[in-house]
Each structure stands twice: as structure tokens, then as C-alpha cells.
Chains A and B, each alone.
Chain A
């Protein structure tokens, strides 16, 4: 069985490298450099999306948004120019569940299966083989993908039908995104009352407010003023926006969700949409007059 991987950025690249430890891969990315990082380790470079579709029975995608997924599949020179019936597409993008279901229906008419399998745990978790994978697929399609997904990580969860993986990822990102900015606001509260942010983090980690952002995200910010790279404020805002839209479609008053989205919008406007997500701390410092970013 030949496997293709399209989209070799921070996350897709890490997932592909992990998968390549046990499966030969054919890869494609618009960036030569991103391709080289995989072909150096033995992957085969596809000349085009059509070539990749012709060669592979299972095709993974990991792109910024559902709009990119649609373009990669249905756009000019996209996969659909050469997709054969029976092909399985596994979308690891953090996508829009409604759009994912729409694309799956369009592909089903051509005998092609699309399932969603986004991940949570960061590029480091992908490289280490510990990342969480949440799958939206019919049970039979999930069974078909499972052996390959297990080669990325043993932490595979079948969330439900097509789109459920993307829904679960949005639920996850809303909760982690809200936790991040609430934690930052709380650190500003501690700091302006005379408690050093590093001390506040240490104390919170030992108490009932312990959370994953305190554990894995905030350290470099309060210790060294290191805001990290990669995942941007704009991407975080996009995920929370999608979560709020899904909430709206389900008739849920998204009080916390909408407020969280507006906080990220505010941060984007204050410090720049392309800044890394932890630069929300810079925005909090600016509006609160606090100093939670070390050295600021």
C-alpha cells in the first residue's frame, strides 16, 4: 500500500517524519525546503498533486485551513485530476467540520473516502509518537485507517462520523485557547499584586488550577520572554472562530467562547496576526499594565 503525505509544515512535517519511521512515503509540499526535509530521510518526492494521487491509495493532508484542503483536492492541478475510486484521504488539518462533511460527500460520489484525523499535542508530540489523534469516520473507514494512524501514535480516538474529529479538535482548541488567555490574565493579577510570574506559575502548578498551558506553554514566556514560534494568533483565532460557529449552528450561547475569540482578535490587532500565539501575553501586558513577559 502506497501512502502519500501533502502539507509538510510544522505539524504535517512532524507527522510525516513520524509515519516515515515505519512506512515508505510519497510527499508533496509547495515549499522545496519542506520537501527536502522528508526526501533526505528517504521519502519520494511527487512532481505534482496529480502524480501523488495516481501513485497512492492512502493520502494524508495537513494544511492551514479547510479552504486549502478544498483547493488541494478540487483546485486546478489538484488531487481530483487523478484520484481513483477506493482511495482513502485522511485530513489532519484543523478544519471546519461542515466543510469536511461537504467535501466527503462530494468525494463519495466518485468512490473516494475522506475522513478527518486532526491531532493535538504539538509538533514535539508528533515527533515523539505520543500525539492525540481524533478521528471522524464511519466505523469501517476508521478500521481501515487505524493501522496507519497507529504508526503515528497509539493515542487514536474514534470521535464519531465524518467531521467529528474536526469538531473535537475545535472543542479542544477552544478550551486550550481560553485556558491560555485566562491563565495570562491571572498571572497579570498576581504580578501586579507583587507576586513574580515565575513564582505564581510554580504555586499554581502545585494547586487546583494546574493546567496544560501552565505545565507546557508558559515557562519560556515568564522565564525568558521567549514567545516561541509557529502556531500564530491568527490560526488560534481561526480555530476558536470555527468552534464558535459550530456552537452557533448547534444553538449554544457561546459566552466564554465568543469572549475568548474577541480576546484573540484584540491581541491580533495589538501585536500582529502573524505573531506566535503566546504573544497574547504581550497584549495582556499592554492592556493590564502588567509584566508577565520576562524582560519586557
Chain B
């Protein structure tokens, strides 16, 4: 398949190389001509502009820093919109805003061009090796048609919903990643100031129940399927553990804003009379205040997801 690829930075170069290795004919473009050298010597064609790149390809992929760069390659006489034939899809692998990709989708739809947001996760190493997630939002039929191309770049390509859904998934994922890192920083600074060696503390935490699990596994058996009674671990006991931990933070003088917020959540849940329910009942407060009904997920369906990746 003849494919256009714009943006050959740390992420883009790995993904473009994967497409070439899979036998696709690439046309490449980047604001830095030198970034394309490796790809061109491996057989890719160079295009002087996004518009030139777009002519004669079956799909275009972009991997760019953010919203302004994506808008810049779309617009103008030399932009993608000027060059793309109706029906030729554009997959944007950049991390973009949800409103931005929806607006771009609507603008391109007027030219008959399917636009899909397809942000990725896995870092430069994953982009090079193919151990990569691609979360795709947009037209399902287009996703299905280009599935083999996506699979050539990533072992975890997922259709997640209509336009913008890929970006929602990516932003939620990165938000979790950030808050988890902050939580680790709080816990480690408390533990180290309380006298543990950093590496011993880190190794100890990795050996615990949460340490052994993959990051998101913790909620699969209880909160997701709404399986909160009877408890395996009662909320009142977790409340006690967190109380002891933040008392330790007090004693050693470590500011712990996230932990305090989590403790306040649990206090609120105890006030609801949930002390003997499962500890994850506390998470239902957030669901309630988001205005969401119980998710109504079947435990078997959740287990199937656990087995798929």
C-alpha cells in the first residue's frame, strides 16, 4: 500500500520504519529534511510538502508535537487538505485535544476526507519495536479497512469509538500515569524520610499486592463490575491504614496533598455507612459525583478484557 507519513521525530521515525519493514511504500515529509534520510535510503520517496505527499497515496499518517503543528500541515496551498483526494483517510497519531480533533474532523468531512484521531502510547522504544498502543477514534469502517496497516506499527491497535475517542483514551491514560507517579513520589518521600533506603523501599513496594499487579488491574474484580459486597477487604481497615500512613507523613514532615485528598474521600465514604463494604466502595463516590449510573459491567466481560492484553 502507498502511504504518506509526516513527522519523523522520535515517535514518527519508529512507526514509519515499521511500515517500511512490513513492505508498504512510503512517501515522507518533515520540516527537517535530514530526519527523512534513513527512510529515503530504505526506499521511501521524499515529498516537498504535505499537499505533494497527499497526491497518490491511499492514506496519510501524521505524528506531530501538538495541535498547532497538526493545524499547520492541514491548511494552505501546500497543506494536506489541498492534496488529499476525497475518500483518502488521514490518521493523526499525535496527541491532540478532543475539541481540536472533532473540529478538524468536521472541516475535513466537508472535503470528503475521513479524519481519525489515533494517538499512541509506548514511547520511542515502543514506536521502534512495535510494542505500542494506538487508540483510534472515527469511522469504524475506515479503521477496519486499514487495520493491517495499523497492526504493522503496533501490537495493540484498538478502535475506541467515534471521532475524539482515541484522544479521550490517550488523555485519560496519561492522566492516570501522572497521578500514579505523583502518588509514588509521595509514598517514597514519606518512606525515605522515615528512614528506609530508596531502593529497598522501591523493591518492597513492588513485591506487594499492588506492586505485583499491572497498573490498572486493581479495580477489575471489585469496582468495575460493582461487586462491593461482601468485602474481601473492608473500607474501615483501609481507612485505618491510610490514617496511619498520613500520621507518619506528619511525623516526618512530608507534604502529602494527594494522600490527604484520598483520605478525605474515605472519610466521606465512612460517613455514608460503607465501613464494612469493600474498600473500593469509596470509588463509587467519584462515580456518583460525576453524575454516572453504575457501570453495569458483567464480571466475565471484564475478565475477557484482562485476557486480551
Contacts of B264 in A (CB 8 A): 253-255, 258
Residue of A nearest to B243 (CB): A248
Contact assessment for B253 and A252 in the assembled complex, using a CB-CB cutoff below 8 Å: no
B227 contacts A by Cβ under 8 Å: no
B250 and A251 form a contact (CB under 8 A): no
Determine whether A259 belongs to the interface, using a CB cutoff of 8 Å to chain B. yes
Given known contacts A255-B261, A258-B261, A259-B261, is B267 in contact with A269 (CB within 8 Å)? no
Contact with A along B253-284 (1 / 0, CB 8 A): 11111001101110110110000000000000
Chain A interface size range: 10 to 19
Chain B contacts with A in 228-270, Cβ cutoff 8 A: 243, 250, 253-257, 260-261, 263-265, 267-268, 270
The residue on B at minimum CB distance from A259 is: B257
Residues of A within 8 A of B270 (CB): 251
**Given A248-B243, A261-B260, A262-B255; A253-B267 close (CB under 8 Å):** yes
- Indicate if the CB atoms of A258 and B255 lie closer than 8 Å: no
Partner of B260, one of A252, A262, A268: A262
Q: Which residues of B contact A (CB under 8 A)?
A: 243, 250, 253-257, 260-261, 263-265, 267-268, 270-271
User: Bound state CA distance, A253 and B263, in angstroms?
Assistant: 8
Task: Give the CA-CA distance A253 to B274 in the complex, in Å.
Answer: 14
> Does any Cβ of B come within 8 Å of A66's Cβ?
no
Of residues 218 through 253 on chain A, the ones whose CB sits less than 8 Å from some CB of chain B are 241, 248, 251-253
Q: How far is the CA of A142 from the CA of B150 in the complex (A)?
A: 79
* In the bound complex, CA of A241 to CA of B256 (Å): 13
- Max count, chain A CB within 10 A of own CB: residue among B243, B261, B264: B264
* B253 A262 Cβ-Cβ under 8 A: no
B27 to chain A, nearest CB (A): 45
Cα separation A279 to B264 with both chains bound (whole Å):
28
Would you call A159 an interface residue if the criterion is a C-beta within 8 Å of the partner chain's C-beta atoms?
Answer: no
Can you report 22 residue pairs joining A to B where beta carbons are below 8 Å apart?
A: A248-B267, A251-B267, A251-B271, A252-B267, A252-B271, A253-B265, A253-B268, A253-B271, A254-B264, A254-B267, A255-B264, A258-B257, A258-B261, A258-B263, A259-B260, A259-B261, A262-B255, A262-B260, A263-B255, A265-B253, A265-B254, A266-B255
Measured between beta carbons, the chain A residues less than 8 angstroms from B268 are 253
The interface residues of chain B lying within 8 Å CB-to-CB of A268 are 253
Cβ contacts under 8 Å, B243 to chain A: 248
User: Whole-angstrom distance between the alpha carbons of A261 and B268 in the complex?
Assistant: 19
- Taking CB atoms, residues of chain B closer than 8 Å to A241 are 250
Give the chain B neighbours of A248 by CB distance below 8 A: 243, 267
Interface positions, chain A 261-277, Cβ under 8 Å from B, are 261-263, 265-266, 268-269
Q: Which residues of A contact B261 (CB under 8 A)?
A: 255, 258-259
CA distance A261 to B261 in the complex (A): 12
| Shortest distance between the CB of B285 and any CB in chain A (Å) | 9
Q: How far is the CB of A244 from chain B (nearest CB, A)?
A: 8
Chain A residues with CB under 8 A of B253: 265, 268-269
Contacts of B265 in A (CB 8 A): 253
A residues in contact with B255, CB < 8 Å: 262-263, 265-266, 269
In the bound complex, CA of A261 to CA of B260 (Å): 9
Return chain A residues, CB-CB under 8 Å to B263: 258
> For the complex, what is the distance from the CA of A255 to the CA of B257, rounded to whole Å?
10
Which residue of chain B has its CB nearest to the CB of A234?
B253
Apart from A251-B267, A259-B257, A266-B255, what 18 extra A-B contacts exist at CB < 8 Å? A248-B267, A251-B271, A252-B267, A252-B271, A253-B264, A253-B267, A253-B268, A254-B260, A254-B267, A258-B257, A258-B260, A258-B261, A259-B260, A259-B261, A262-B256, A262-B260, A265-B255, A269-B255
